[in-house]
Amino acid sequence: MKRIQILGTGCSKCQKLTENAKQAAEELGLDYEIEKVTAINDIMKFGVMSTPGLAVDGKVLSQGKLLNEEEIKKLLG
């Protein structure tokens, strides 16, 4: 199972990234779970200084950018 982590405080971009990640994972037929990391200290532990961030299984794949579904599918695939 992939653990998709959305790193952000809950802003509109973070919410949209969550939606896009869910859609991308569904389209790829992945077994996944979404985890929202909202505490600033926890986000900083990932080394992310600009949100929203996207991590999979603890590895940061993107930060400071709202990725669309196609971009996320390339990262997940």
The residues assigned a catalytic role are 11, 14
In contact, 9 and 17? CB cutoff 8 Å: no
CA proximity to 44, closest of 33, 55, 56: 55
Residue 42 CA to its chain's centroid (Å): 14
Beta strand 32-37 with 53-56 is unpaired
